[in-house]
Structure 1
């Protein structure tokens, strides 16, 4: 019983380390890509290995980021409670966790098709290199979005094994969306970033301009969601979902207050998790109920 309790506690620690609940940012768009690519539900095999690949890549990248950023997390009062600064986990075991997850990702990619397998090392390089971008460019927010955009693109490849136009639109939507709310989240660390040589759009352009840039990225994101209507022959269910998502985005920008951590978590994480699920359910309902 005690051994089982320790294992459960360890799993819980690693789940918290990689913020597993944040899978809701990329997973809904990956499912949309799979359904559109397969013109219905993909086979159980593709769904299984596709989800395993997504989770393996995401967990590995998040854990690697925690190791790379450990020195800054220790110094930042906002992040000093994280697992590595508090020595709840050690860097060596987290790096082993990274290697295992990347191995799972590569194996899952190989089980899907040759294109996914060939591109898997490229994907690992991209999602891992993000961890260093904040040291030399304020475009790190967009690079983060770019790496997460690989989820719907990779999901399309998993089903078809071929390049296409639609997944890159979905990927661009994800990139702009993630970059926008990462700018919002980064507005909490303006002074810390300036004092420690880190780059972010809020620290370079100031709070107001940074939030304007975030709003601009989200505006373009909505335009691209609308552009998908004629491209995919979508109807009112999808349009209603985009309307709700837009209202939630406006709410997100309305409640921003960097000095209030609880409000910032709602703006940066909670609302965006709802947004992705609204887009997922409205898109699936539109496809399966109205097509």
Structure 2
């Protein structure tokens, strides 16, 4: 019995390979709760950042539209920004936990994921399902703070979220379905501000999907050899030796579509500068990408938080001046 207890604690204390080194969730969360913190990806915050940023872009785009219509300074609603932050953390955690339940057999066959709490046996599928429900309740509480149209828009994403974990078994571009999920916030910020949608947030949504396909293709380079063994489909495997060109095409498309959204709202000089800075960051990712360097792929993937913050800050400032 003591030996089993030691084995359990050793598994709990083992840091996952793509976790942020020295993250507070791996240092301060009690051992008994740590597997659930890892299910929620608390020690890998890039996921909730990438879910949050399209929400913030959309809120800033809405403010830019208001500024253009009124001729006065406008700002993204701070309350909405805070709600999106809480909702992104909760729903990224719920989606990741659900994904781990569905993928527990596949995860056990991939080096980077075999130590995840469900695949390694630290958390049962039943306990994980209860944890999904708890996180969804937090997300629901956040969603109910918005107007009825925004609430309905939020619920409309559920079917895509539920379908995503199965896509890597069925299609070679599961990143497109991930994009449909992770880009949904590009609609939500505008819907929360105006209680409706228009062409500008739709273009922002489409551009964000292209961005997601690009950065998640970079992320998938870490697993390309294990994915081949396990039979997991991914854009990294599909594009193969042309992966750099494929990521570049995704990023060019993202820039053009997001630029179209900005142009429809208000082609303010600062907003254009923000878009160009965002595009320059994406170009740096492509120029420095090494398909055989998994560590660099992870670094470049994570750098998309900075790219997204550059765009958000520029749009917000453009609306305020």
TM-score over 0.5 for the pair: yes
Q: Deviations over 1:82-138 (max 9, x none)?
A: 333344444332221211222232333233122233344432221121111111001
> Counterparts of 2:42 and 2:269 in 1: how far apart (Å)?
40
> Counterparts of 1:103 and 1:12 in 2: how far apart (Å)?
17
Q: Does 1:25 align with 2:75?
A: no
Residues 169 and 16 from structure 1, CA distance in 2 versus in 1: closer, same or farther, beyond 3 angstroms? same
> Counterparts of 1:123 and 1:188 in 2: how far apart (Å)?
28
- 1:252-291 aligned at under 5 Å gives the runs 252-269=285-302, 271-289=303-321
127-136 vs 102-111, which moves further: 102-111
The residue aligned with 2:112 is 78
Q: Look up the SS of the partner of 1:84 in the other structure.
A: coil
> Counterparts of 1:41 and 1:287 in 2: how far apart (Å)?
6
> Counterparts of 2:205 and 2:90 in 1: how far apart (Å)?
19
Residues 18 and 220 from structure 1, CA distance in 2 versus in 1: closer, same or farther, beyond 3 angstroms? same
Name the count of aligned residue pairs. 284
Asked if the contact 2:217–2:236 (Cα under 8 Å) also holds between the matched residues in 1, the reply is yes
- 1:122-137 aligned at under 5 Å gives the runs 122-137=156-171
Asked if the contact 1:152–1:171 (Cα under 8 Å) also holds between the matched residues in 2, the reply is yes
- 1:106-255 aligned at under 5 Å gives the runs 106-205=140-239, 207-255=240-288
Residues 7 and 287 from structure 1, CA distance in 2 versus in 1: closer, same or farther, beyond 3 angstroms? farther
Q: Where in structure 2 are there 5+ consecutive unaligned residues?
A: 1-27, 67-73
Residues 42 and 49 from structure 1, CA distance in 2 versus in 1: closer, same or farther, beyond 3 angstroms? same
> Counterparts of 1:252 and 1:68 in 2: how far apart (Å)?
31
Equivalent position to 1:99, from 127, 133, 143: 133
123-132 vs 76-85, which moves further: 76-85
Residues 232 and 132 from structure 1, CA distance in 2 versus in 1: closer, same or farther, beyond 3 angstroms? same
> Counterparts of 1:5 and 1:181 in 2: how far apart (Å)?
30
Equivalent position to 2:41, from 7, 10, 16: 16
Q: Where in structure 1 are there 5+ consecutive unaligned residues?
A: none
Task: Give TM-score scaled by structure 1 length.
Answer: 0.85
Q: Look up the SS of the partner of 1:135 in the other structure.
A: helix
Q: Which has the higher helix share?
A: 1
Task: Give TM-score scaled by structure 2 length.
Answer: 0.78
> Counterparts of 1:161 and 1:227 in 2: how far apart (Å)?
22
> Counterparts of 2:313 and 2:78 in 1: how far apart (Å)?
20
> Counterparts of 1:44 and 1:202 in 2: how far apart (Å)?
38
98-107 vs 278-287, which moves further: 98-107
Residues 69 and 162 from structure 1, CA distance in 2 versus in 1: closer, same or farther, beyond 3 angstroms? same
Q: Look up the SS of the partner of 2:41 in the other structure.
A: helix
Residues 283 and 44 from structure 1, CA distance in 2 versus in 1: closer, same or farther, beyond 3 angstroms? closer
Residues 124 and 228 from structure 1, CA distance in 2 versus in 1: closer, same or farther, beyond 3 angstroms? closer
Residue 44 of structure 1, CA deviation: 5.5
Residues 5 and 146 from structure 1, CA distance in 2 versus in 1: closer, same or farther, beyond 3 angstroms? closer
The residue aligned with 2:16 is none
Residues 248 and 36 from structure 1, CA distance in 2 versus in 1: closer, same or farther, beyond 3 angstroms? closer
> Counterparts of 2:283 and 2:133 in 1: how far apart (Å)?
39
> Counterparts of 2:175 and 2:77 in 1: how far apart (Å)?
34
Residue 237 of structure 1, CA deviation: 2.3
Asked if the contact 1:150–1:171 (Cα under 8 Å) also holds between the matched residues in 2, the reply is yes
